[in-house]
Structure 1
Amino acid sequence: MEKPQSHNELLPHLFREEYAKMTAVLCRHFGLRHIEIAEDIASETFLKASESWAINGIPENPTAWLYTVAKNKTKDYFKHISIFETKIKSDLKQDNHKQETDFGFNKQNISDSQLAMIFAVCNPINSNESQICLALQILCGFSVEEIANAFLSKTETIKKRLQRGRNNLRKDNFQIKSLNESEIQSRLKTVLKTLYLLFNEGYFSKSNNQFIRKELCSEAIRLILTLTDNPLTNTPQTNALLALMCFQSSRIEARTNEKGEAVLFDEQDKNRWDKSLIEKGNYFLVNATNGNEISKYHLEAGIAYWHTTDKKDKWKNILRLYNQLILIEYSPITALNRTFAFSKIHGHEKAIMEAEKLNLTHNSQYHELLGYLFAKSDIQKAIEHYEQAIKLTKSETEKQTLTKEIERLKRKNGR
């Protein structure tokens, strides 16, 4: 990725990459009950960077600068904020937390803090959906809009869910600490789902008018690699999810052209696929077979693997895996993807009947799929479905791609 040239370009990248890490270390120090203090210090650090870098220029090591300022602000907080003496100090003593300000933002501390924090946030005191929302916001730095997109929910619903979840965490009075094996096993499923949603928001982004957000995909892979480094979290499911992310990431560069327009799978330049990531995907998929469990991540990783090959019976294997996946966990997206694979084997006419049974009339991808399926037999119907997809999608990139396809079909139809 090209290095940003100004502080206005650099700071958003650093915010996404470092804010959550900074908050995790600070929160481990203050205690999760006082997460707002950690978030305030992290936010003030980036505000100071915005002000200072605009006047003095970007420092030689921007990341180190941020962590130095955060550490100094933490020391100042302990020295000067009266609330520490009146309330927080007694709470920290009660929570058995260290009160000294001598802590570091070294690589190991950041890694340990993030791993501990995500398991702390994914606490059974909250519902699974609340756990995921909290982890996406606190650990991954998601905005309310991004979380709403990930859950296909209204922003007000997510705001209320986050507020309830945070209140429950405060009342539970627990700490960010090393968890035992049973605690990790009980929460790992939610942690993996959180990282799955994080990756998907990057790979199929519908917020900020961006089609792909590479930094979110990279963040998800970085976090799940942390899980594979720990014997208690290096499970077959973890490896299967990591394999899926590698296979999907291998095609990121080919999913858009030089103009930033989306490129459909059938039209992608395979020379732009990252073969090293495909090899890593193969490696982690093999690791994922070290057990008897077949999870949705195993099946999705298998589907992604077959997409990277040109082997005989490729689409038959993909359809077979989708048939299994839809039984394990049904979703509209899975059903639509299965129908696309179905069309590759049984033809568009039969696939149209399969798609129409789903009746997902308020889903943009449903109309996009029908537009694709009708394009060979009924151009007018294809155009109508593409136009409906444009009305329903939030993605500007998708709108541009569909508009371009409509124009192509109109030229073909002599209009």
Structure 2
Amino acid sequence: MNVNNEHIDTLIPHLFRQEYAKITAVLSRHFGLQHIEVAEDIASETFVKAMSHWAVHGIPASPAAWLYTVAKNKAKDYLRRQVLFESEIKNEIKGTEKEAEQEFEFSEEIIADSQLLMIFVVCDPVNPPSTQICLALQILCGFSVEEIAGAFLSNRETIKKRLHRGRVNLRTNSFQLRSLNRMEVDARMSAVLKTIYLLFNEGYFSQNEKVFIRKDLCAEAMRLTLLLVENQLTNSSEANALLALMSFQSSRLNARTNELGEAILYEDQDRELWDQFLMQKGYYYLGKAFADKVVSKYHLEAGIACWHTTGGDAKWPQILQLYNQLIMLEYSPMTVINRAFAFAKVYGCKQALKEMEKIDFPQNSYYHGLMGFLYSELDVGQAIGHYRKALALTGSVAEQRVIAGRIERLGGRADVVA
């Protein structure tokens, strides 16, 4: 054992983020979804014991394996001493005692299978998307209620109520945490991908007023998608396209902010900071995504993100073409706004303004930001007016500073949070 305890305070939170959800998933698969709180309690108690035990005896050579062993023993102790096991749980566990014993093992295969099952449990359409994301953050990623509230710019009690309602809905549903079949995958795959997609976007375009990017959310979304593509049953072209999209977007994360956390616009980013490894992963998964003759929104968005990793102006006609397809497939304000920006890059701001005459999103900060950009060289007064509206509508301090900088460059004044 390693008797150096100085890293315990940093190691425990790191392991909690990595291993808590794995332990919960494996134990929930054994106990049944209706007893998920039991699995979570055992997982939490495991980390409490690690904190106290390691402080005295030192950090074990394999901390994760130590956690799995303690969790397994705690689960067995719980089953032995609880009348609940005889009256309810035992009747729900199928197979021999040997099979049940195997389910307590924390092999890589069992952990991956259990987490995959939990993804499909959490992404149950019985709950609205916002609740699915909250449940995903808590159950799949090990986020606290406070962390989830921060991500959603909501208060703790609201998130607690949302999670409680979501859990009640999950428990009353008939989904069994045993194994996935093709019918269940087909029925829920769309909801699963959408939830993970929204989770990634919450990190990439964080609505937290103090943090422009939540890299932890992006990383968790990629980890969950990787579980999908590594399983034969869930390795769909859409899942590969989503992972490609995330890889391309994540490759530019380090270049999107400066050392002060301030936002850096795409065209001002230092390309030396773009992660070439993640770009290559993006190309790899994009190739797999187009192996089948299926085109989803994830394929189109991945293609757009792919073109954004290339230099020069030759990419903009390609990006515009992809946005034209995307807007026909799924209309949304952000798609319209992004398409208009690409249109301006191809045909100029004056022509883009004509395109925008039929569009009005008065409460959307990105809409006014785009209009400010389009008017900048044509009508400075109009540009400043739209930028000021964008400034008032965004809650992100990082975005406020970018918009304020544009106003000042146009000769206007802007008040922004320091």
TM range (shorter): 0.7 to 0.9
| Inter-CA distance 367–62: structure 2 relative to 1 (3 Å threshold) | farther
- Contact (CA 8 Å) 2:24, 2:40: kept in 1 or not? yes
| 1:120 Cα offset (Å) | 3.0
TM-score, normalised with respect to structure 2:
0.83
| 1:52 Cα offset (Å) | 6.4
SS at match of 1:261: coil
- Contact (CA 8 Å) 2:79, 2:85: kept in 1 or not? no
| 1:248 Cα offset (Å) | 1.0
1:48-77, CA deviations, whole angstroms, 9 ceiling, x for partnerless residues? 556667788866655445444434443443
| Inter-CA distance 348–311: structure 2 relative to 1 (3 Å threshold) | closer
TM-score, normalised with respect to structure 1:
0.84
Q: Which residue of 2 aligns with 1:35?
A: 36
Aligned length: 405
Computed over aligned residues only, the root mean square deviation of the Cα atoms, in angstroms, reads 3.4
Once the two structures are overlaid, the 10-residue window that deviates more, 330-339 or 10-19, is 10-19
**1:94 matched to 2:95:** no
| Inter-CA distance 53–212: structure 2 relative to 1 (3 Å threshold) | farther
Q: Which residue of 2 aligns with 1:317?
A: 318
- Contact (CA 8 Å) 1:136, 1:194: kept in 2 or not? no
| 1:376 Cα offset (Å) | 2.9
| 1:336 Cα offset (Å) | 1.4
| 1:191 Cα offset (Å) | 1.3
Tell me which amino acid in the other structure corresponds to 2:90: K
Tell me which amino acid in the other structure corresponds to 2:403: L
Tell me which amino acid in the other structure corresponds to 2:322: L
- Contact (CA 8 Å) 1:75, 1:101: kept in 2 or not? no
| Inter-CA distance 62–203: structure 2 relative to 1 (3 Å threshold) | farther
| 1:133 Cα offset (Å) | 5.0
User: Among the aligned pairs, what percent are the same residue?
Assistant: 57
Once the two structures are overlaid, the 10-residue window that deviates more, 167-176 or 109-118, is 167-176
Once the two structures are overlaid, the 10-residue window that deviates more, 218-227 or 378-387, is 378-387
SS at match of 1:358: coil
Any unmatched runs of 5+ in structure 2? Answer: 1-5
- Contact (CA 8 Å) 2:152, 2:207: kept in 1 or not? no
Distance 2:45 2:408 in 1: 49
| 1:89 Cα offset (Å) | 3.7
Q: Which residue of 2 aligns with 1:213?
A: 214
**What does 1:211-250 align with in structure 2 at a 5 Å threshold?**
211-250=212-251
Once the two structures are overlaid, the 10-residue window that deviates more, 223-232 or 126-135, is 126-135
| Inter-CA distance 8–402: structure 2 relative to 1 (3 Å threshold) | farther
Any unmatched runs of 5+ in structure 1? Answer: none
SS at match of 1:205: coil
Q: Which residue of 2 aligns with 1:107?
A: 108
SS at match of 1:410: coil
Once the two structures are overlaid, the 10-residue window that deviates more, 130-139 or 49-58, is 49-58
Distance 1:6 1:345 in 2: 53
| 1:292 Cα offset (Å) | 2.3
| Inter-CA distance 227–63: structure 2 relative to 1 (3 Å threshold) | same
Q: Which residue of 2 aligns with 1:117?
A: 118
| 1:295 Cα offset (Å) | 0.5
1:237-283, CA deviations, whole angstroms, 9 ceiling, x for partnerless residues? 11111111111111111112233221100111122222222222122
Distance 1:397 1:66 in 2: 39
Distance 2:149 2:244 in 1: 26
Distance 2:400 2:56 in 1: 40
Q: Which residue of 2 aligns with 1:371?
A: 372
**What does 1:1-400 align with in structure 2 at a 5 Å threshold?**
9-48=10-49, 61-80=62-81, 84-85=82-83, 87-96=84-93, 103-123=104-124, 131=132, 133-141=134-142, 162-207=163-208, 209-310=210-311, 313-355=314-356, 357-400=358-401
Tell me which amino acid in the other structure corresponds to 1:393: T
Distance 2:300 2:154 in 1: 26
Distance 2:56 2:106 in 1: 26
| 1:105 Cα offset (Å) | 2.9
